[in-house]
Amino acid sequence: MTKFLLLTKRELTERLSQKGFWYMLVLGPLVLLLSLFAILKAADQGKQELKVLIADPGQIMGHRLMAQVEKNVHYYFLDDYLEIKEFDKAKAYQEFDVLVELNEKVLNNKKCFVFYRDQLSPDIRIQLKFQVEKRMEELIAAQHSSLTEAAFRQIKQGFIFDFRDIKDPKNEAKEANAWAGFVIGSFILFFVGLYGMTIFRATVREKSNRIVEVLLASIRPEQLMLSKIVGIGMVALLQLLGWALILTLGLLFLQQTVFLDIFDPSNWGQATPQRLNPLSSLVFEQLNLSFLFIHFLLFFIASFLFYGALFAVLGARSGADADGQQFLLPLIFLVAFGIFAGIYAVYYPNTTLSAVLSYLPFSSPVLAFITLAKGASIVDYTTILLSLLVLLACALILLKLAGRWYKQSILKF
């Protein structure tokens, strides 16, 4: 046991003495914070309001659209033709974002052109099409029938289809939460794969320079493998805790300085309160980050033991670093499988395949966090705990088997 602790300490101190570890301890979370800040700001989607100019030389629309008032899109009319170059360059039209061009025969040819300065979102495109199309239908109905506009609008009132999951009739489990859980779960697999490569390279290096032969004279192969996994795992865990601390401080700073919620009374009187966009609201209000972090640590430890054993065995079976690259492909595919399983579970959470994937050790971390981020019920949480136990059991069984494979392979080549 003393020798095991000494070798574990050796792996730990060796990597803590490297400058790269400390650089990544600080630079890693800072890069993540900057990326997150950029993504949150980009979620504001630039312009909050859009001005649309409708060129209607035939005055067909009568300066009117549908009855409802748009919140973010404002329509203006021009009773004349307008050249595209003039709309693009003339100072008088720079305040408009979109030009809708209606020709005088639009009721017959049913074709209009929409010119925009910046790319329009799908929602805005649908809204523009809906407004103009419905107004054209009113005018066509007035030409070919005796219906009033009010009567026509009542007849043409569209049905609204609201698709909801039978297990979530109030639509509380949002898709954005599921994608946030997917990102967190995928980060576990990414981090485990990154430090698993460290285990692989350390094993290959010791085997190629014959140090392992000296070590095996005083310690059993199983202990040597486990000390390497535990030592490097402690380094990974230490870096994770450092990242979590810096990210927490950074998010608190952003919440108190940049993303001030105008609906929070404590922020009234501040210089820059604003309504949180959907993405910033997700990060700062909807996700229980402390609750997710506790489960992140549990799944990370179990996943690291599982994958660490595989990387150690592959390193033991490799004669040289270049020789072992071919053995890494299956592990890379397994990590990719876990990520793609998470994407499938976001779109099809209640299928039999998703239920099976939630118990597989390769994909359970990702699927567990998708459920946790959406808000797990008691039944769902029981499933998550069971999948964690399955992952731990698989990790312990694999460590036992890996010890034998490691013993048989470490002195070969």
pLDDT tens, residue order, the chain (413 aa): 677 777 777 777 877 777 777 887 888 778 877 877 776 666 555 555 788 888 888 888 778 776 555 567 888 888 888 888 888 888 888 888 888 888 877 777 778 888 888 777 666 777 778 778 777 777 777 777 777 666 666 666 655 555 555 555 555 446 777 888 888 888 888 888 888 888 888 777 777 767 766 676 677 777 777 888 888 888 888 888 888 888 888 777 776 666 655 444 444 444 444 545 555 666 666 677 788 888 889 999 999 888 888 888 777 777 655 555 666 778 888 888 989 998 998 888 888 898 899 899 888 999 998 888 887 778 888 999 999 999 999 888 888 887 777 777 666 65
Please name the residue ranges forming H helices in 318-377: 325-347, 352-357, 364-374
- What pLDDT, on the 0 to 100 scale, is given for residue 385? 92
* pTM of this structure: 0.65
Q: Would you state the torsion angle of the CA atoms of residues 386, 341, 240, 294, taken in this order, to the nearest 10 degrees?
A: -30
The pLDDT assigned to 262 comes to 43
Q: Which of 216, 225, 200 is nearest to 325 (CA)?
A: 200
Task: Output the CA torsion sign for 308, 311, 316, 320.
Answer: negative
DSSP 273-327: -BPPPHHHHIIIIIS-HHHHHHHHHHHHHHHHHHHHHHHHHHHHH-SSTTTTHHH
The pLDDT of residue 187 is 85
Which pairing describes strands 50-55 and 98-101: parallel, antiparallel, or unpaired? Answer: parallel
Element (H, E) at 227: helix 221-257
CATH of 50-155, one of 3.40.50.720, 3.40.50.300, 3.40.190.10, 3.90.170.10: 3.40.190.10
Dihedral angle computed from the Cα positions of residues 216, 217, 220 and 222, in that order, rounded to the nearest 10 degrees: 0
Q: What angle do CA 85, 89, 92 make, to 5 degrees?
A: 115
Sheet architecture: strand order including 50-55:
73-78, 50-55, 98-101, 113-116
Q: Which of 244, 250, 382, 340 is nearest to 300 (CA)?
A: 244
Going by C-alpha positions, the residue among 1, 25, 4, 18 that lies closest to residue 240 is 25
Positions of CATH 3.40.190.10 in the chain: 50-155
Cβ-contact 241, 22 below 8 angstroms: no
Nearest to 41 by CA among 225, 278, 271: 278
d(CA 287, CA 293): 11
In this predicted model, what pLDDT tens digit does every residue of 225-240 receive, in sequence order? 788 888 888 888 888 8
**Per-residue confidence (pLDDT) for residue 268, from 0 to 100:** 42
Rounded Cα–Cα distance for residues 272 and 268 (Å): 9
Q: Identify which of 194, 185, 184 has the alpha carbon closest to the alpha carbon of residue 36.
A: 184
pLDDT the model gives residue 263: 43
For 117, 223, 280, 282, the CA distances from 88, given in Å and listed in that order, are: 8, 73, 34, 37
